[in-house]
Chains A and B, each alone.
Chain A
Amino acid sequence: MSSGVAVNLEDIWIRFGDFVAVRDANVNINGGDFFSFLGPSGCGKTTILRAVSGFLDPSEGRVLIGGKDMAGIGPNKRPTALIFQNLALFPLMKVWENISFSMEVAGIGAKERRKRADELLDMIALEGQGDKLPSELSGGQKQRVAIARALCANPDVLLLDEPLSALDLKLRQHMRTELREIQKRVGITFIYITHDQGEALTMSDNVAVMKAGVIDQIDSGHNIYDHPATPFVASFVGENNVFRGKIKSINGNEAIVSTNRSGDLLSRIAPAQLGNLNVGDDAMMFIRPEVLKLGPAEESSKSTISADVMNEEFEGNTFSVFLEGDGGKSIKMSVPNAGQDHISSRGENLSLHYDPSNAVVMPAGELASE
């Protein structure tokens, strides 16, 4: 099988009439990478994928696959294979015919097609099921057939449009690992679309986070989670407590934020926003629930928050504690389950502290809507 081929999007704009679906997207995807586009519904993910696969031409900008400009090259001529959001298996063809359809198109004889289809069926752990119809398979099996069908064409780039969204949670988690393994085995570039951050973070080498046609951040899943570049990314990926306020002072890569309701708090400045923050600016500071710890800070009161316990939920591996700070500010804290009966009792006043290097502050902006 071919090793990975790079995909580059250069200054891509995609418009439908007056509506801008994708705004100035620049993305460089390394060959052999598992790359994800993550964003809420309707943000333009499918649209970008259709531009890569050739079903629509960008209004502006270039799509390069393996360094070659794809302008004017139709979907049937591109080295890409697309797995559709609804899979789009051919219901009237048997499973093996589905898988080997690209070979049928190429005029390859039935015997050879069947052989290749059986090999792929082995790979997706569906040996002996080639003579079934797609309707006789379970959701996860259909899923795997769609992957085999796309891989049968020996594409350089596999494009996957939320292929797991129709599956139940258990199967989805199982398919994540499976997809990642298939990708490692075939070694080709995967471009994966999802609105599920868990999927994006677990599977991808790199993730692009999108909001309403704009790519906010491209980075490894780890960096996206730990070093979000914008308020949208910070609030869309994972859970976060948001503290609004103004910058009081800046010292290197740290700033003191005078928050609206929780006093002055110390935080690291988002690396991507270093230099973009000035004293007096409207800012948003983010502290993840698992970063908050019980008890007041020892060194500085600028990383201590006091709040009243409203409610506590047991979630198995963690306890989620919901608190209300001064002025009704709601705060969530996660505490690992180490065998305690409970963490707090309702109405109790708690002091919480955090490590300022685990908090992040950036210029105020749009949050992901819940």
Chain B
Amino acid sequence: MKKKMIFSNFFKTNGVIMGSILMGLVGFWLIFLIVLPQLSMLDYSFRFNLPPADVGGPKDVYTLSNYQFLIYGSDDTHQTYNSVDLKVFVRTIIAAMMVTIFNILLCYPLAYFLGQSKGSAFVRLLVVLLIIPYWINEILRAFALRIIFGDSGLLNETLMFLHLTSEPIDFIRHDVALYAGLGYAYILLMLFPMYNVIESLDRNQIEAARDMGASWVKIHRRIVIPHAKPGIASGATMVFMLSAGALAAPQILGGPSSLWFTQLVYQWFNDSLNWQQGAAYAIVLLVSTITIVLTVMRIFKVNMGDIGK
């Protein structure tokens, strides 16, 4: 009943022709660019990596072996675990969470400052200054960070010049560069949703709370953060998903010994030419990250609907 109303209103406001075109485009986008490719990946992940001659033949049956490989490796008896890949998986998830939390902590004060000094020309300038670096493409930004964090990079040179360290610190090996790169890559996706919700907060509410004796901590805990929650949630979701699925930053900035899970996926597709195995890995990553996002949203009582606001 309610759904019907939404549709009829949609056509009423946009007209039948325009409405159909819009619906068609969104439908095309959803079906051909998202659902079908993902379904074919899903299908791949349950098949054997067969030589072309066998595809569609009697050997081409569904199997769980690709998923089993991620857990047990090539051990058919399932006695030992595929600890290398599993470690990479867990590390990727935890690191992506860390990047997300770090971004929340960094963006919240900034978003609050920007959002509450609304309209001032200085703030608009600040926002533009924040956006400009993102005109540079991701690869270039990652390499620039690599140079800065390198052995003879700006950071090490400065530290040595200040005699804070006697020899260069290997930021790359210690993954400092990787985390900085990941944090930097998606920080605006955290900042802008937060900024938008905080800007919509009525200043009088903050003053009313202050008038009633609330401390700044209390004001943020009871007024600002609850109000900003949908923005924080939508920012955090994007940053977490994109960091966990990032490829460029780990490739360029990751240390030699630390792999990102997406790099494993890439290797299966590209180096081993085992798309079935790669698809299984990718599906595991996708399902895990979605599960984590939904769980966290449940814990913090955020509705899916609020995020779209």
Contact = CB atoms under 8 A, between A and B. Distances in A.
Interface of A: 53, 55, 74-77, 80-82, 84-86, 88, 90, 92-93, 101-102, 104-106, 149, 153
Contacts of A102: 212-213
Nearest to B208: A88
B166 interface: no
Interface stretch (B81-89, B135-143, B199-207, B262-270): B199-207
A88 B203 CA distance: 9
Nearest to A106: B213
A105 B212 contact: yes
A53 B214 CA distance: 15
A153 B213 CA distance: 9
A101 B202 contact: no
Contacts of B209: 90, 101, 105
Nearest to A161: B204
Name the interface size band of chain B.
10 to 19
B207 A55 contact: yes
Contacts of B223: 90
Given A75-B207, A77-B213, 5 more contacts: A55-B207, A76-B213, A76-B215, A105-B212, A105-B213
B204 A88 contact: yes
Nearest to B226: A92
A104 B222 CA distance: 10
Contact of B212 (A85, A86, A101): A101
A76 B210 contact: yes
The 8 closest A-B pairs by CB, nearest first: A88-B204, A102-B212, A88-B208, A76-B213, A84-B204, A105-B213, A105-B214, A92-B226
B91 interface: no
Interface string B91-124: 0000000000000000000000000000000000
Interface SS of A by simple majority: mixed
B5 to A, nearest CB: 21
Interface of B: 202, 204-205, 207-215, 218, 222-223, 226-227
A104 B215 CA distance: 11
Contact of B211 (A82, A90, A93, A104): A82
A105 B218 contact: yes
Nearest to A82: B211
14 contacts: A53-B211, A76-B214, A81-B212, A82-B207, A82-B208, A84-B204, A85-B204, A86-B202, A88-B204, A90-B222, A92-B226, A93-B222, A101-B209, A101-B214
A148 B212 CA distance: 12
B231 to A, nearest CB: 14
Contacts of A93: 222
B204 A81 contact: no
A88 B212 contact: no
Given A90-B223, A105-B218, A84 B212 contact: no
A124 to B, nearest CB: 17
Contacts of B227: 92
A88 B205 CA distance: 5
Given A86-B202, A88-B204, A81 B211 contact: yes
A76 B211 contact: yes
A82 B223 CA distance: 17
B300 to A, nearest CB: 13
A101 B222 CA distance: 10
A75 B216 CA distance: 13
A257 B124 CA distance: 60
B118 to A, nearest CB: 16
Contacts of A88: 202, 204-205, 207-208
A84 B208 contact: yes
Nearest to B203: A88
Nearest to B214: A105
Nearest to B209: A101
A57 to B, nearest CB: 15
Contacts of A76: 210-215
A153 B204 contact: no
A53 B212 CA distance: 11
A77 B212 CA distance: 9
B211 A86 contact: no
* Highest count of chain A CB atoms <10 Å: which of B207, B212, B215: B212
A105 B219 CA distance: 9
A153 B208 CA distance: 12
B306 to A, nearest CB: 11
Given A92-B227, A105-B218, A75 B204 contact: no
Contacts of A104: 222
Contacts of B213: 76-77, 102, 105-106, 153
Contacts of A149: 212
B199 to A, nearest CB: 16
A153 B211 CA distance: 10
Contacts of A101: 209, 212, 214, 222
